[in-house]
Amino acid sequence: MSVAACAELVSRGDPDRFRAVLAAPAGARAQLLPLYAFNLEVARAPWVTQEPLIAEMRLQWWRDVVENAASGAARAHEVAGPLHDLIRDFGLPVAVLDRLIAARRWDIHREPHDGAEGLSAYLEDTGAGLMWLAARALGAPEAAEAAVRAYGWATAAAMYVRAVPELEARGRQPLPERVGARDLARKGLEKLAEARRARKVVPKGVAPALLAGWQAEGLLRQAVGGRSSPALPEAQKRWGLLWQALSGRW
């Protein structure tokens, strides 16, 4: 039940976010790692079993933990325990955590999203919600929420477009009818521009929470250009992360 255990989970299961954490100041890592480990645990819950009922139970367990973070179940779990500390110490909004978990119910089943609005809501509750939680844990004021969420939505859209081929291979229908990967990527670039127009309201101390989006623009532009499996070269990834970490600009 430690941040070290969360770090080990994220390093294995979400290497891109782990790299972003390593690029953040050491003082921010204790807040970011439990959140990213929690997100990983919730995101993979629908995929570790072929039984929808068991997957639903896994997600419900996390919803119960978030609702009653001080319970014995939470304190004994290697991720839920540190997450409880974050909720308590930084006043993380439980409703946002709950929506993040509930949104993952879509991953259990094989139906497509309910149109463009359904997909947008999914990205809002997962990626945008996670980035806002990370920003709140680093002291972001309420005034920064719209900008942070827009950047989080763009980041989630980039990761989602990248995952489309794998989701299709697993029998899912990731894109609703009449919504293509290019359409989603264009919307992601619009959200990115929206976030940047409003970034003056985001304090510099919150920048480590936004490092997870360092690949977003490059991936979205590749998808708009028609690349079906967007991916950045390793050198571009390294230098992009370094530039954002040193400059604090996103």
Q: What's the pLDDT tens digit per position in 228-241?
A: 999 999 999 999 99
Q: Residue range 90-116: average pLDDT?
A: 95
Model confidence at 111: pLDDT above 80: yes
Q: What's the pLDDT tens digit per position in 199-218?
A: 999 999 999 999 999 999 99
Residues 68 and 176 in one domain: no
Residues 13 and 89 in one domain: yes
Model confidence at 70: pLDDT above 90: no
Residues 187 and 214 in one domain: yes
Is pLDDT larger for residue 76 or for residue 213? 213
Residues 9 and 95 in one domain: yes
Give the model's pLDDT for residue 68: 83
Confidence of residue 71 (pLDDT cuts 50, 70, 90): low
CA atoms within 13 A on the CB side of 183: 11
Residues 48 and 125 in one domain: no
Give the model's pLDDT for residue 69: 67
Instruction: Note down the domain range covering 65.
Output: 1-109
Residues 248 and 127 in one domain: yes
Which amino acid, residue 183? D
Residues 75 and 192 in one domain: no
Query: In 3-state terms, the chain is what percent helix, strand and coil (to 5)?
Result: 75, 0, 25
Q: What's the pLDDT tens digit per position in 21-38?
A: 999 999 999 999 999 999
In a 10 Å sphere around its CB, with 0-12 CB exposed, 13-18 middle and 19+ buried, how is residue 64 labelled?
Answer: middle
pTM of the predicted protein model: 0.96
Residues 153 and 49 in one domain: no
**Which of 72-76, 78-82, 138-142 has the least mean pLDDT?**
72-76
Model confidence at 1: pLDDT above 80: no
* Average pLDDT over the chain, rounded to an integer: 94
Model confidence at 2: pLDDT above 90: no
Domain boundary among 87, 109, 131: 109
Task: Provide the domain count of the chain.
Answer: 2
Distance CA 94, CA 116 (A): 26
Confidence of residue 110 (pLDDT cuts 50, 70, 90): confident
